[in-house]
Amino acid sequence: MYKIKEAIVVEGAYDRIKLSGFIDGVIIQTNGFTVFKDKNKLKTLKTLAENGGIVILTDSDTAGFRIRSYIKQYIISGDVKNAYIPEIKGKEKRKNQPSKEGLLGVEGVTEEIIIKALKEAGCEINGQAEQEAKVRPITKTDLYLLGLSGGEESARKRKALCERLGVPSKISPNMLVGVLNRLMSYEQLLEITGER
């Protein structure tokens, strides 16, 4: 597994699934052009860009570049990197036909091509400082134990925490875990929630 510091922004679920097989990090999918109208998703991307950075890894077709351009225009401040996969002719295994432009997308290229693109974009891969490796990550179990998921007041507590951190309150507990690990340590979460 490659550990990536920046949150990776991909277009769809198959891209996210592919990357999850060899990347340890936050992976956010735009769901194609729906990101244009999804203010909560855009706000999350902006928060992540300002707290550790994001890297946009969309397909090399016209649609991928439209999504990339839109996100870059929306996020004025913060660290936004661009990772580009090469234009390779072909079709993904799960599809009956090639895409409109006949190019492989993120899901269709090799792990090596993706890692190379991320390195060329300037992403921090595996090179975490020794002390960062010792930081205890926040888990979904922590959210449960802190009353942020699975309880009667969980939704209210989660909403209050999200508002305090400036992230959308509608994000799922799974996505919240990833965002929290980008923004703070476990100890900081305990302080914010009043458990310390």
Same domain, 42 and 107: yes
Give the CATH number of the domain where residue 10 resides: 3.40.50.140
Please compute the mean of the pLDDT values over residues 60-85 and round it to a whole number: 89
Same domain, 31 and 111: yes
Same domain, 141 and 105: no
Residues 54 and 62: their CA atoms lie apart, in Å, by 21
Please compute the mean of the pLDDT values over residues 156-163 and round it to a whole number: 86
Mean pLDDT of all residues belonging to the chain: 85
Same domain, 71 and 116: yes
Same domain, 145 and 111: no
pLDDT of residue 27: 93
Confidence check: pLDDT of 177 > 70: yes
Same domain, 43 and 76: yes
Closest CA to 59 of 21, 30, 22, 25: 30
The reply to whether 66 falls in a domain is yes
pLDDT of residue 162: 83
Same domain, 112 and 17: yes
The length of the chain, given as a count of residues: 196
91: Cβ–Cβ under 8 A, 6 or more apart, which residues?
97, 98, 99, 102, 104, 108
Same domain, 86 and 145: no
CB atoms within 10 A of CB 170: 12
Helix, coil or strand: residue 8: strand
* pLDDT tier, 131 (very low <50, low <70, confident <90, very high otherwise): very low
Please compute the mean of the pLDDT values over residues 151-169 and round it to a whole number: 83
The reply to whether 129 falls in a domain is no
* pLDDT tier, 130 (very low <50, low <70, confident <90, very high otherwise): very low
Please compute the mean of the pLDDT values over residues 54-79 and round it to a whole number: 90
* pLDDT tier, 128 (very low <50, low <70, confident <90, very high otherwise): very low
Confidence check: pLDDT of 76 > 90: no
Same domain, 114 and 142: no
pLDDT of residue 136: 82
Please compute the mean of the pLDDT values over residues 32-45 and round it to a whole number: 90
Residues 32 and 16: their CA atoms lie apart, in Å, by 12
Say what the pTM is. Answer: 0.69
CB 90 within 8 A of CB 108: yes
Helix, coil or strand: residue 81: strand
Residues 96 and 26: their CA atoms lie apart, in Å, by 30
Lowest average pLDDT, out of 74-78, 94-98, 112-116, goes to 94-98
CB 54 within 8 A of CB 81: yes
The residue segments making up the domain with residue 185 are: 135-192
Confidence check: pLDDT of 182 > 80: no
pLDDT of residue 134: 57
